[in-house]
Amino acid sequence: MSGSMNSEASAEPNLTPMLDLVFQLITFFMLVTNFKAASLDLNLKLPVVGSARPLETEGEDLLILNIDSVGKLNVYGVTQNIERYIKAEAKASRLTAKRLNPNFKADDDLPTTIVVRADKQTPFNLLNVVIKTCQDNGFRKFALKAMNKEDG
């Protein structure tokens, strides 16, 4: 019996199933990645209010204001001057509203909802500066953010 011996045996792993699995993982992370969370200051400890409910705000014009315990306004990690920032946002909101609704008048209430994310230790007088500035610039709709249960 003559048998030829293979001097080299090469084993090539089949990469197709691994590629499949990796594509599954990529699809998962593409679906769950939320880039809007970058606008939230996650260092803030929000108050706990049992009746606070996450509401569907898809399509609504929102302006998120992160206010820390010393009353500073943080936007994408950068501290902003409250009055200047809100005035600029009000101007932009007014322009957008005018574009969407030609009958929108200058002294009409702005359609933008102010989302207030304030630290639970923030004293009211500092928070009130922000709220009053928003009201003075025509904002009337507010959403006060809170957790509906304690973290952890």
Partner 1 sequence: MSHRKKKKKGSENVELNLAAMLDMAFQLLAFFILTFKPSPVEGQINLKLPPPMPVVGAAKGQAAGDNNNNQNAVQAFESLVISVFSTPGGKISTMAIGEANVAGVSALEGRLKAVLSDANSPFKQVIIQVASKLRYAELMRVVDVCTRQTLPNGEKLTKLSFVELPTE
Q: Please give the residue ranges that form the binding site for partner 1 (CB under 8 A).
A: 15-16, 18-19, 22-23, 25-26, 29-30, 32-35, 37, 40, 42, 46-55, 113, 115, 117-125, 127-128, 131-132, 135-136, 140-148, 151
In sequence order, the β-bridge partners of residue 117 are 66
Q: Between residues 3 and 124, which has the closer beta carbon with respect to partner 1?
A: 124
Q: Between residues 68 and 94, which has the closer beta carbon with respect to partner 1?
A: 68
CA pair distance 54, 41, nearest whole angstrom: 17
Q: Between residues 17 and 102, which has the closer beta carbon with respect to partner 1?
A: 17
Measured from the Cβ of residue 74, the count of other Cβ atoms closer than 10 Å reads 18
Q: Between residues 1 and 11, which has the closer beta carbon with respect to partner 1?
A: 11
Give the position of tokens 């928003």.
134
Shortest distance (Å) from residue 76 CB to partner 1: 14
* Residues 38/43/44/46 CA torsion (nearest 10 deg): 90
State in Å, rounded, how far the first CA of the chain is from the last one: 73
Shortest distance (Å) from residue 67 CB to partner 1: 8
Shortest distance (Å) from residue 85 CB to partner 1: 18
CA pair distance 137, 82, nearest whole angstrom: 12
